[in-house]
Structure 1
């Protein structure tokens, strides 16, 4: 299941914080044009979709992400590589490195990763 952009914002907060009330998530959202009730409704929908769990044992319901960050990133990346780069990982990497300046440390990490791939 692919989260919407708004759902991704909420998941990012839950992945960072571990678990949060709706109020905590709402206060951490970058978009201040969204009302509390909208955040509440989105989180209820995410619960219905099975993206988050909800502990309702206390007055303040606490939510926790059920989707793993790694799995969600993997799904988004696969879809983007297929849709935008016609399935070519090389095109994605060349575009990313050509558009965004990588630090020497990042380039060293990428080289080491490629060496490990080549040797496996």
Structure 2
């Protein structure tokens, strides 16, 4: 059953990031990644991942002895959805305000500035 993408909580986003890095994985593998940063019980990760399946954020393959989980949407799709949501809720749809706030709130290195310039150049080519 296909669910609309729900906005993941902070912990759910941590689980999604772990799965994007690992690829399809067991609860134990995800728990090992998360436990390196914070104190989380295996059973808590299991319950969160089961809830994420119910919410439509994860898919579970039950064909083997260990269940294998993977995100239901590609990383890019989920991140685009989150940014679009933030853009509308916090910035009234203004990408300029979002970008200006982001750029003014952090110090950028040379490579980051160059990458941003390249992205802006590509965006300019796409839309006259």
Q: How would you bin the TM-score normalised by the shorter chain?
A: 0.7 to 0.9
Partner Cα separation in structure 1 for residue 54 and residue 47 of structure 2? 11
In the other structure, the counterpart of 1:2 is 7
In the other structure, the counterpart of 1:22 is 27
Secondary structure at the aligned position of 1:101 is classed as coil
In the other structure, the counterpart of 1:113 is 122
1:21-40 matches, cutoff 5 A: 21-29=26-34, 31-40=37-46
Partner Cα separation in structure 2 for residue 48 and residue 118 of structure 1? 39
The number of aligned residues is 119
State the Cα distance separating 1:118 from its structure 2 match. Answer: 4.0
Long gaps (5+) in structure 1: none
Long gaps (5+) in structure 2: 1-5
1:1-120 matches, cutoff 5 A: 1-29=6-34, 31-102=37-108, 103=110, 104-119=113-128
Partner Cα separation in structure 2 for residue 118 and residue 47 of structure 1? 38
Taking structure 2 as the reference length, what is the TM-score of the superposition? 0.82
Change (3 A) 1:47 1:111: closer
Taking structure 1 as the reference length, what is the TM-score of the superposition? 0.86
